[in-house]
C-alpha cells in the first residue's frame, strides 16, 4: 500500500455533506420524482430519506470497523470497506428496499455515485487505491438496474 496523506475525511467532509445536501434537496422539493399523486410522492420521499439515513449509518459503521477516518485511522482502509461484505450488504439492502420505486432508486443511486465520484477525485493521486476502489464502486453501481415488479400472481408475463 502506498502512503496516504490527506486532510479530507471521507465520512465528515465527503459522505455526510453529500447525504445532507440530498436530504435538503428532498425537503425543498428539488428532487424530481414521478408520482401519481401527493400521497405517493410523500411515500417516495420517505423511502428516499430512510435509504439515505441507512447509508449514513452504514458508512459510520464501516468507519468504525475499517478505521478509515483521517483522525487516527488510515484512509486507505476506505478501499477495503468498498470491497467488503458490509459495503455490498449496504448496497443490496438499500436498493432492495427501493426496488418498487424506480424514481427513488435512481435518486439514491445518483447520490451514492456523486459521493463516490467526489471521493475518487479528492483522494486521486494522494491515495490511488482509494480512488480506484471508488471508481470500481461507481462502475458497479452504474451497472445496477432497478428490478421490475412481478405481476400479482408471481408468474412471468408473456408477450402473447
Total count of domains within the chain: 1
Distance between CA atoms of residues 103 and 32, nearest Å? 8
Determine, yes or no, domain membership for 131: yes
Determine, yes or no, domain membership for 158: no
pLDDT at 158: 32
**58-91 tens-digit pLDDT:** 999 999 999 999 999 999 999 999 999 999 999 9
**pTM of the model as a whole:** 0.86
Determine, yes or no, domain membership for 67: yes
Determine, yes or no, domain membership for 1: no
CB of 79 closer than 8 Å to CB of 133: yes
Q: For residue 106, give its domain range.
A: 14-28+37-143
Distance between CA atoms of residues 48 and 42, nearest Å? 10
Distance between CA atoms of residues 63 and 90, nearest Å? 13
User: φ and ψ at 83, to 5 degrees?
Assistant: -115, 10
Determine, yes or no, domain membership for 23: yes
Distance of CA 128 to the CA centre of its chain: 21
Q: What is the maximum alpha-carbon separation in the chain?
A: 62
Determine, yes or no, domain membership for 149: no
Determine, yes or no, domain membership for 6: no
- DSSP per-residue letters across 75-92: TTHHHHHHTSHHHHHHHH
Q: How many other C-beta atoms are found inside a 10 Å radius of the C-beta of residue 107?
A: 24
**114-136 tens-digit pLDDT:** 999 999 999 998 999 999 999 99
Q: Where are the alpha helices (DSSP H) in 83-127?
A: 85-97, 102-123
Grid coordinates representing 109 are 443511486
Determine, yes or no, domain membership for 153: no
- DSSP per-residue letters across 126-147: TSHHHHHHHHHHHHHHHH--PP
* 144 has a pLDDT exceeding 50: yes
Amino acid at each position: 500500500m502506498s502512503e496516504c496523506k490527506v486532510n479530507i475525511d471521507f465520512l465528515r467532509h465527503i459522505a455526510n455533506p453529500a447525504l445532507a445536501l440530498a436530504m435538503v434537496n428532498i425537503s425543498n422539493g428539488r428532487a424530481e420524482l414521478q408520482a401519481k399523486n401527493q400521497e405517493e410522492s410523500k411515500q417516495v420521499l420517505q423511502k428516499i430519506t430512510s435509504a439515505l439515513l441507512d447509508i449514513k449509518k452504514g458508512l459510520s459503521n464501516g468507519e468504525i470497523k475499517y478505521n478509515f477516518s483521517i483522525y487516527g485511522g488510515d484512509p486507505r482502509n476506505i478501499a477495503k470497506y468498498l470491497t467488503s461484505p458490509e459495503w455490498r450488504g449496504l448496497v443490496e439492502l438499500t436498493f432492495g428496499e427501493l426496488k418498487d420505486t424506480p424514481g427513488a432508486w435512481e435518486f439514491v443511486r445518483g447520490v451514492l455515485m456523486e459521493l463516490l465520484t467526489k471521493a475518487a477525485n479528492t483522494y486521486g493521486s494522494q491515495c490511488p487505491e482509494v480512488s480506484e476502489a471508488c471508481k470500481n464502486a461507481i462502475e458497479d453501481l452504474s451497472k445496477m438496474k432497478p428490478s421490475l415488479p412481478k405481476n400479482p400472481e408471481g408468474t412471468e408475463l408473456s408477450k402473447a
